Amino acid sequence: MKLIANELLNTDELNTHISMAQKHSNDYGNFDRRIKNYYTFNVFKHHDEPIALSGIYKSPYWKNNLVRVLDRTVYFPKGLSKTKVDALTGKNGKKVTSGNILPYHIDYCMQNNLRPFWSVYNRRRAQKFIIDNWNKTNTNYKMYQPKGLYWVCDDVIKQGNVRCWQSVATINDTDIDLISQNELGKYITFHKIPFNTKKLMEDVNKLDFVNFKPSVPIKEKFFNDSTHWLFTGLSSIDILDPDSHFGKLAFYIKDLFQTDIRVSCFKQKKNTEVPFHYDRGHKASFNIVLSNQYSPITFKNVTPIMYTSALLNVSKLHSVASNKSDRIIIKFLLDNITYEQARKKLY
């Protein structure tokens, strides 16, 4: 099946085809906000009948000239396989995807000095099927499937968002400028624990916040008696009321990691950015964010991360962007244990 690709960007046909796509896919709800980031967006036709829509997308979160091909691909009835399975695996789907859309998109990328990849959620075997079929018939560009899952969404990394971790395929190179789950694990490990935010906030509000003062001299001016970065001091968890929600949680954390811990609460004042730094005196901490609205943490050269409860490798350089309201966290400092050792306790 030979398909003809027609450009839809800046044409009167675009809205018509998007309306058609919304009847067949849930991926077009926010399309109006994404359209400006496409290099090309095409309708693929056979005898003037639409078979599929697909585009080449560039996220502002992706480095350099990295783009995703097969983006927002949707198959119309004629493009589906006879078994009605999404055309990644069907008999006709094989021809539509690997025989038409992929060659067109990859040629476009190579002509425009772009680095293409494509991704799928929870369909790694189906992706491998297309890759194998591609490599049998194409000698100019070899396709690879790197191990593991990669964050591919047009957003900061968010705890609990599993759909954005996808299997990727690359062209002529196994390296890709996206963060993998394995790589992210060197910096942060998401871990859900039983706590009540409201009760914790009630306990924290009973504490006194003062200007942060480092226990050892540091060069960063921001952390020297800062009025924008407050804390409750560093204390042993033994001073907490063991019957309070805060106290019960602290001893739960101690049992979880089987090491001595200290605790402090921090308040990042609104419109204040915490600059890049690494923590002194400990290499790992377990943090809980109590604020309803808060800005992400950023490790050096890593996509910003939103978390509610997680183990952090604080020996790595990290910063926190400014926020429109105060950001309050509880920080359990894990003494006498490295991040890697603490991470093993969670598995």
What tens digit of pLDDT does each residue of 29-51 get?
888 888 999 999 999 998 888 98
Give the pLDDT mean for 237-251: 92
Please report which confidence band the pLDDT of residue 80 belongs to, taking 50, 70 and 90 as the band edges: low
Q: What is the DSSP code string of 213-245?
A: --SS--S-GGGSSEEEEEE---EEGGGS-TTSH
**Which domains, ranges and CATH numbers included, belong to the chain?**
4-183 (3.40.630.30), 188-344 (2.60.120.620)
Query: Structure tokens of 320?
Result: 């926190």
Residue count (the chain): 347
Give the pLDDT mean for 309-324: 96
- 88, pLDDT greater than 70: no
Q: How far apart are CA 63 and CA 145, in angstroms?
A: 19
- 308, pLDDT greater than 50: yes
% of residues, the chain, pLDDT over 90: 63
Out of 11-25, 92-106, 169-183, 323-337, which region has the weakest mean confidence (pLDDT)?
92-106
pLDDT at 97: 83
pLDDT at 142: 92
Please name the residues in contact with 119: beta carbons below 8 A apart, sequence gap of 6 or more: 68, 150, 152, 166, 167, 168, 169
Query: What are 190's strand-pairing partners?
Result: 310
Nearest residue to 304 (alpha-carbon basis) of 98, 151, 141, 81: 151
- 223, pLDDT greater than 90: no
Out of 37-51, 63-77, 82-96, 122-136, which region has the weakest mean confidence (pLDDT)?
82-96
Please report which confidence band the pLDDT of residue 91 belongs to, taking 50, 70 and 90 as the band edges: low
- 148, pLDDT greater than 90: yes
DSSP classification of residue 325: S
Q: How far apart are CA 312 and CA 194, in angstroms?
A: 18
Give the pLDDT mean for 88-107: 74
Q: How far apart are CA 251 and CA 259, in angstroms?
A: 11
Q: pLDDT averaged over the chain?
A: 89
pLDDT at 87: 46
% of residues, the chain, pLDDT over 70: 94
Residue with tokens 């099927």: 129
Please report which confidence band the pLDDT of residue 239 belongs to, taking 50, 70 and 90 as the band edges: confident
pLDDT at 1: 63
- 4, pLDDT greater than 90: no
Please report which confidence band the pLDDT of residue 64 belongs to, taking 50, 70 and 90 as the band edges: confident
pLDDT at 99: 83
Please report which confidence band the pLDDT of residue 154 belongs to, taking 50, 70 and 90 as the band edges: confident
Sign of the dihedral through C-alpha 335, 339, 341, 342: positive
Query: What are 50's strand-pairing partners?
Result: 45
Out of 24-33, 249-258, 337-346, which region has the weakest mean confidence (pLDDT)?
24-33
Give exposure, 44-69, as e/b (b: 16+ Cβ within 10 Å): bbbeeebbbbbbbbbbebbeeebbbb
- 89, pLDDT greater than 60: no
Query: Structure tokens of 105?
Result: 């998109």
DSSP-derived 3-state class of residue 340 = helix
